[in-house]
Every structure is written in C-alpha cells, then in structure tokens.
Amino acid sequence: MARRDAFNGVNRIWFVFVLLTAVWCMTSTVLVWMKAEKFLISLLAGPFGLLTVYFSIEGFSDPAWFTLLALSSIAMFVSIVVTVGWVVMRCVNSEYQQDTNQ
C-alpha cells in the first residue's frame, strides 16, 4: 500500500504562495523606488507578525507546512491590500490638498 503524500496540501497552495510572494516583492520594490520606505512597515508587519506568533505558539518542531503557507499567503495578501490602499489614500489626499491650496 502506498503511503499518503505528506506534502499534498503544500502542492495545492504552493502556486498561490509563490504568486503572492512575487507581488509582495514587487510592491516593496516599487515602494523603495518611489522613496516611500515608511510604507514598508505595513507591508512587512503582516508576514513577520504571523511568523512570530506562529512559531511562538507551535514551536520549531515539524511545523504544519500547509497551515504555515496558507496563513502566510493570507498575511501577505492583507499586507499588500493595506499598503497599496494606504499609498493610494495618501496620494489622493496630497493631490486634494494641493488643489485646495491653489
């Protein structure tokens, strides 16, 4: 009898995780290029906060890889949405203030 694939769940979430990691890296690159490093804090807070909490609760012994990748994907998605929303709001707000000052 063949053994069950331990990484079957990882195989299903891997593409989403890699895609979100690429978008996350591109977002951080654009923020650095725009010289808007202050927005990197919100981009980094989600995934690194998740990893800190996850490993403090679960420990470092044999993590559940599917759960870790799924939660990391969610944290990256939320941090991308929050950061891009924050940048757009700041840009719109600064343009509005420039229009009212003229």
pLDDT tens per residue, the chain (102 residues)?
A: 666 666 777 888 889 999 999 999 999 999 999 888 888 888 899 899 998 988 888 877 777 888 888 999 999 999 999 999 999 998 888 776 666 666
- Return the closest-CA partner of residue 42 out of 90, 94, 2: 90
3 state SS of 63 = coil
pLDDT of residue 22: 95
pLDDT of residue 91: 85
Chain-centroid distance of CA 11 in Å reads 20
- Provide the token pair at 12: 């299903």
What is the distance between the alpha carbons of residues 99 and 96, in angstroms, rounded to a whole number?
5
pTM of model > 0.85: no
Sign, CA dihedral 33-36-37-42, equals negative
pLDDT of residue 20: 93
